[in-house]
């Protein structure tokens, strides 16, 4: 089966998560020393390494590309959860605080990379543009899952709901706290928005890991 544009689009989001995990390990090593980095690497050595573009092409010829992409989503989200759990266990509250900063930084770095591409613009982006770019890099399962619903949208505010948390099953495999991971992804969303427009704030109004029926996120630009 040939690799279609939607497959490459999804794989680019999978690679974003893999890059975020690598960034996390690198930054935690820089902040807390080689021992912290080695510990995370020892944990991650138990998992398959992230796939590359060549493997995407090969697997597309040898098996169902949809099944393979799903397996890669599970792999990168499990690896990320394992890296976070290792850092939290070794470093405690200091580690969590550092990871929150690192996730915000990675969010800003991600939108800087998007600006260098065809969509590149140095002008602050509006809420709708920011959310549109977010859909091109934030991994939320397979396209057919359709777990994201826009509930409200205006010029300066957008509210979207996740009707299911597809990350949880992968996080649970590592024993990492779902609440910790959800909080870190919230920090990433804040960093992503702030990098595109410092006037846009992110708020998580509800989360499935806290017992809500859906996750509710908001991007809002100060008037």
45-73 pLDDT tens trace: 888 888 888 888 887 777 688 889 999 99
What Cα–Cα distance (Å) separates residue 31 from each residue in 17, 81, 98, 119?
A: 21, 19, 8, 33
Instruction: Return d(Cα 165, Cα 208) in angstroms, integer.
Output: 7
Residues 6 or more apart whose CB falls under 8 angstroms from that of 123 comprise none
Whether the pLDDT of residue 173 is over 70: the answer is: yes
Radius of gyration over alpha carbons of the chain, in Å?
Answer: 17
Residues 6 or more apart whose CB falls under 8 angstroms from that of 221 comprise 126, 127, 156, 157, 197, 199, 200, 201
Low-confidence winner among 14-23, 99-108, 111-120, 166-175 (lowest mean pLDDT): 111-120
Mean pLDDT (the chain) is 91
Closest CA to 90 of 135, 29, 145: 29
Whether the pLDDT of residue 116 is over 60: the answer is: no
Residues 6 or more apart whose CB falls under 8 angstroms from that of 138 comprise 13, 16, 189, 192
Q: Please give the pLDDT value at position 210.
A: 95
Instruction: Return d(Cα 194, Cα 197) in angstroms, integer.
Output: 5
Q: Please give the pLDDT value at position 60.
A: 73
- What is the residue-wise DSSP string for 142-209? -GGG--EEEEEE-SSEEEEEESS-SSHHHHHTTT--HHHHHHHHHHHHHHHHHHH-TTEEEEEEE-GG
**Residues in the chain, total:** 223
pTM of the model: 0.92
Q: What is the pLDDT of residues 74-104, one digit of tens each?
A: 999 999 999 999 999 989 999 999 999 999 9
| Cβ pair 162, 147 in contact under 8 A | yes
Which residue ranges make up each domain of the chain? 5-221
Q: Please give the pLDDT value at position 1.
A: 65
Superfamily of domain 5-221: Trafficking protein particle complex subunit 3 (3.30.1380.20)
- What is the residue-wise DSSP string for 54-89? HHHHHHHHHS-HHHHHHHHHHHHHHHHHHHHHHHHH
pLDDT (mean) for 21-27: 94
| Cβ pair 47, 79 in contact under 8 A | yes
């Amino acid at each position: 089966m040939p690799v279609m544009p939607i497959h490459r689009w999804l794989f680019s989001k999978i690679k974003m998560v893999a890059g975020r995990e690598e960034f996390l390990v690198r930054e935690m090593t820089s902040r807390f020393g080689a021992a912290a980095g080695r510990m995370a690497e020892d944990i991650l050595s138990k998992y398959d390494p992230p796939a590359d573009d060549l493997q995407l092409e090969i697997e597309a010829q040898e098996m169902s590309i949809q099944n393979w992409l799903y397996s890669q989503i599970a792999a990168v989200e499990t690896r990320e959860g394992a890296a976070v759990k290792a850092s939290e266990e070794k470093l405690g509250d200091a580690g969590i605080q550092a990871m929150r900063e690192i996730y915000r930084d990675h969010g800003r770095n991600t939108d800087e990379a998007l600006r260098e591409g065809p969509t590149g613009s140095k002008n602050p982006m509006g809420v709708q543009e920011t959310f549109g770019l977010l859909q091109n890099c934030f991994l939320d399962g397979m396209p057919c899952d359709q777990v994201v619903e826009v509930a409200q949208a205006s010029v300066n505010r957008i509210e979207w709901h996740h009707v299911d948390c597809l990350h949880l099953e992968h996080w649970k495999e590592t024993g990492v706290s779902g609440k910790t991971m959800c909080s870190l992804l919230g920090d990433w969303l804040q960093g992503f928005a702030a990098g595109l427009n410092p006037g846009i704030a992110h708020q998580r109004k509800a989360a499935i890991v806290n017992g809500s029926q859906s996750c509710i996120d908001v991007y809002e630009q100060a008037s």
